């Protein structure tokens, strides 16, 4: 039986399909795996004379990464590609902090394409991922700043061994028959982190030298922001000044966390009591940063959290920052 003709679609921004955080990777003949790359999710729309780079929040990034836009200029007209913008360190591993220094790190930054949503004005979002990948391989030609995310059919155990041996971040699992579902987190795409760490929203700080002593961070559950930790580790004086410059314009009189104050500081001191809150300055919950930590407590708090880097304002919608493990 002949295939139905693909519907036409104008090349324009499409909201990103999300990955569901999982403790155990799904397994079976329909699942394939990719390395989790620590970078910026970027969608490429080739609709005019040049390729336009869009952040997850639909902001245009061409001025920040003109060499990436140039590398993608050869895409067919009316084409949309999904992928990750990544900086590779000297060891060949993704380095998120290096990506933040994009003006001086051009030669280290690549765009890893992993999906194609529109091809020459034809909508592929309702086609299975395996078919979309075949089209992607025929369209994207790797170059100095352009690559295709490698797909592995190894078992989850084999993938985990590789990731741990090479000290990488984690694994993305995708069903080969999955359609592209914009803005949804259905579980047909899943992510598993080997190291404990994720993005959190910065909702306040404890004032100190160089701007702050610690950051007050949390995550969303439904439409509410929940406090998770105060974080002092991971900063040097220069980093404190840089981060404070990025968040000080968000000052507000109102605490954004729905679960504060807490009655007790708790066994590990993570609790933020009414007395301790008097020391805090509050921020509109618009800034997002990466943190690593030892573990979650039973009270949804972090133990031994450490700052690893700010997320770009264009990169992550704070309201999509949820507890991942």
- In tens, the pLDDT along 232-257 reads 999 999 999 999 999 999 999 999 99
Span 160-180, mean pLDDT? 94
Q: Which helix (H) or strand (E) holds 174?
A: strand 170-175
How much is the mean pLDDT over the chain?
92
Res. 263: pLDDT tops 90? no
At which residue do the structure tokens 């005019």 appear?
A: 48
pLDDT at 270: 73
pLDDT category at 101 given cuts 50, 70, 90 is confident
- Higher model confidence: residue 282 or residue 57? 282
Span 313-321, mean pLDDT? 85
pLDDT at 56: 92
Q: Is 109 exposed, middle or buried (0-12, 13-18, 19+ CB in 10 A)?
A: buried
Span 289-313, mean pLDDT? 89
pLDDT at 195: 80
pLDDT category at 98 given cuts 50, 70, 90 is confident
pLDDT at 268: 55
pLDDT at 1: 45
Res. 27: pLDDT tops 60? yes
Span 105-128, mean pLDDT? 96
pLDDT at 167: 86
Please tell me whether residue 60 adopts helix, strand or coil conformation: strand
What percentage of the chain carries pLDDT values higher than 90? Answer: 76
pLDDT at 13: 96
- In tens, the pLDDT along 59-89 reads 999 999 999 999 999 999 999 999 999 999 9
Res. 313: pLDDT tops 50? yes
Question: Could you give the domains of the chain?
Answer: 20-193 (3.30.470.30), 197-320 (2.40.50.140)
Res. 3: pLDDT tops 80? no
pLDDT at 312: 80
- Higher model confidence: residue 194 or residue 244? 244
Q: Quick check: 180 and 9 in contact, CB under 8 A?
A: no
Half-sphere exposure of residue 282, counting CA atoms within 13 Å on the CB side? 14
- In tens, the pLDDT along 205-218 reads 999 989 999 999 99
Span 34-51, mean pLDDT? 92
Report the distance separating Cα 96 and Cα 40, nearest Å: 9
Task: Report H helices in the chain.
Answer: 66-71, 96-100, 129-139, 156-165, 237-247, 274-277
């Amino acid at each position: 039986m002949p295939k139905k003709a693909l519907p036409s679609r104008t090349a324009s921004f499409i909201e990103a399909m999300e990955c569901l955080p999982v403790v155990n990777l799904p397994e079976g003949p329909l699942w394939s795996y990719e390395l989790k790359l620590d970078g910026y999710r970027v969608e490429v729309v080739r609709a005019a004379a040049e390729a336009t780079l869009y952040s997850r929040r639909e902001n245009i990034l061409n001025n920040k990464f003109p060499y990436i836009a140039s590398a993608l200029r050869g895409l067919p007209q009316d084409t949309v590609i999904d992928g990750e913008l990544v900086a590779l360190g000297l060891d060949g591993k993704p380095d998120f902090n290096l990506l933040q220094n994009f003006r001086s790190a051009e030669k280290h930054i690549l765009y890893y394409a992993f999906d194609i949503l529109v091809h020459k004005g034809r909508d592929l979002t309702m086609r299975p991922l395996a078919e979309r990948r075949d089209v992607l391989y025929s369209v994207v030609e790797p170059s100095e700043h352009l690559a295709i995310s490698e797909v592995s059919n190894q078992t989850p155990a084999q993938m985990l061994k590789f990731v741990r041996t090479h000290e990488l971040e984690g694994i993305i699992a995708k069903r080969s028959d999955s359609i592209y579902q914009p803005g949804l987190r259905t579980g047909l795409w899943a992510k598993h982190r080997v190291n404990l760490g994720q993005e959190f929203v910065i909702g306040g700080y404890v004032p100190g030298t160089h701007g702050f002593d610690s950051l007050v961070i949390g995550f969303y559950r439904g439409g509410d922001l929940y406090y998770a930790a105060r974080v002092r580790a991971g900063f040097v004086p220069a980093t404190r000044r840089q981060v404070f410059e990025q968040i000080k314009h968000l000052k507000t009189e109102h605490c954004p966390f729905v679960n504060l104050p807490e009655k007790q500081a708790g066994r590990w001191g993570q609790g933020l009591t009414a007395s301790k809150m008097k020391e805090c300055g509050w921020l509109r919950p618009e800034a997002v940063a990466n943190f690593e930590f030892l573990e979650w407590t039973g009270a949804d708090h972090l133990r031994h959290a450490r700052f690893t880097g700010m997320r770009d304002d264009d990169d992550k919608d704070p309201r999509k920052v949820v507890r991942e493990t």
